Amino acid sequence: MSFTLTPRVAPPLDPDFQPGALFNHAFLSAVEKSGKGVPLVIGLERGDGSRSVFSTRALPPDHPSAEANLLYADRLVKTLLWQRGAHRVVVGGPPDIGEYLRREYSPTGARAFDAKLMAGVYEQPFVVEVTDAAGVPPAHEQSAPIGRHLDGCRIGFDLGASDRKVSAVMDGQTVFSEEVVWDPRHQSDPSYHYHEIMSALHRAAAHLPRVDAIGGSAAGIYINSRVMVASLFRGIPQDLFDRRVKDLFLQLGREWKVPFVIANDGDVTALAGSMSLNANSVLGLALGSSEAGGYVDAHGNITGWLNELAFVPVDFGPGAPVDEWSGDRGCGSLYFSQQAIPRLAAAAGISLDEGLGLPEKLEAVQDLMAGGHPRAEQVFATIGCHLGYGLAYYADFYHLEHVLILGRVTSGQGGQVILDQARRVLREEFPDLASSISVNLPDERSRRVGQAVAAASLPAL
């Protein structure tokens, strides 16, 4: 079975884009029209005993187009793993789908990266079990309040792959903010990270009469302020990572002798959005060196899910670009971050100095945009089209009322172009979503340092 996946709003520089949202909607429509759909239930169990369950339907195994089940199921499990997290996946449905997923998400399968990373996150072996739909354990979700503590003298920091930000906050008012370029991913000595972070904290502390609490956000997966997986520390050998990085922020908390909390930067983005909008059911997206995602639910809580949307596929095309870390195609990090800039600039006929880093390449295209370069605008229009379809895909997995986008890629005039194009996609392709989801950019200052301020609110005194 083939599906026509022609976007109504075509990304100007990406004619081969195959939106995952369109594929899923077309597939499920075909299942319904067949009149023979069978249950497919995915259960995901995390290290704290919480469980998520996602129920859908697939074509029956004897259907002539049943091969479409495999692409649908593979992309579905990939999405659920990085959205919600799991060390144990239970597949309830047709056995051929379950066995396929068990092979793919094994140490020798195409998704070995995902299986290995999940095992590291939860410090337990990763397994895929196959059963029928009735055999999937029931959901057991847990949520917890996050941040919003602004009393006292606080430091907030945000660690990106190209820059680090820090703010000093007194009773909710920012008295100092700083943004410094750094290069953590290529450093193999944990001392580099320790001293850079400590330097930022001391810089902020100099503007406060005392320090009552410290909160931070960073790209990666953090459980109880421990570093489980983080691209910032990719250059550090595993043995050093285990000995000196996993508990780095616990060590900093002991040295400062104050409450010290670090969270995923996406969750802090969502928190910043929830605080600035005074609303809940917020998805926060940080478009920086990679893509960070976070979610605040209808009760203003975080769910304990991973929300690592950088690894979630949004382009199902067979020629979609390959993420160099995971080895998978079409992942959000290649569409909603600085990593998209060189590829789209080349497609626009814009020549960038190969010796520049990603932040400098982004700045070069932003400068062209500010100067009225017509092809530079197409770079950001393409990102905006991708984002509109990406939001429609995310809406199949989250209850969304608000989306807040932040990060260096949204700075300058390009940010408004991204926002306008994303809204256009929702209006023209997904009108029901357009009427129910508000997509927003914060003001320029907030989109650059807002996460550091929100991070300061994480610890309770």
Distance CA 380, CA 333 (A): 15
Residue 352 CB neighbours (<10 A): 16
Q: Specify the residue for token string 């055999």.
A: 135
> What pTM was estimated for this model as a whole?
0.88
Q: Where are the domains positioned within the chain?
A: 36-135, 143-461
Radius of gyration of the chain (CA): 22
Tell me, what's the pLDDT at 444? 54
Distances in Å between the Cα of 432 and the Cα atoms of 349, 390, 436 are: 36, 15, 6
Contacts of 138 (CB under 8 A, 6+ apart): 51, 53
Tell me, what's the pLDDT at 448? 47
Tell me, what's the pLDDT at 145? 86
Residue 266 corresponds to which amino acid?
G
Helices 68-84 and 95-104: angle between axes, nearest 10 degrees: 60
Tell me, what's the pLDDT at 288? 87
Tell me, what's the pLDDT at 407? 83
Tell me, what's the pLDDT at 231? 83
Tell me, what's the pLDDT at 229? 85
Percentage above 90 pLDDT, the chain: 78
Q: Specify the residue for token string 């393409």.
A: 382
> φ and ψ at 301, to 5 degrees?
-105, 165
Closest CA to 330 of 359, 310, 346, 306: 310
Measured distance between the N- and C-terminal CA atoms of the chain, rounded to whole angstroms? 58
Q: Is residue 257 a contact partner of residue 344, using CB atoms and an 8 Å limit?
A: no
Tell me, what's the pLDDT at 266? 80
Q: Specify the residue for token string 């100007």.
A: 12
Q: Specify the residue for token string 């369950």.
A: 53
Strands 438-440 and 402-406: parallel
143-461: CATH superfamily? ATPase, nucleotide binding domain (3.30.420.40)
pLDDT-flagged residues of the chain (< 50): 1, 447-449
Residue 433 CB neighbours (<10 A): 18
Closest CA to 365 of 347, 379, 355: 379
Tell me, what's the pLDDT at 453? 79
Tell me, what's the pLDDT at 129? 98
What digits encode the pLDDT tens for the residues 224-262?
899 998 889 989 999 999 999 999 999 999 999 999 999
Tell me, what's the pLDDT at 325? 86
> Would you state the structure tokens that stand for residue 148, as one six-digit string?
């919003």
Distance CA 215, CA 460 (A): 10
Tell me, what's the pLDDT at 292? 87
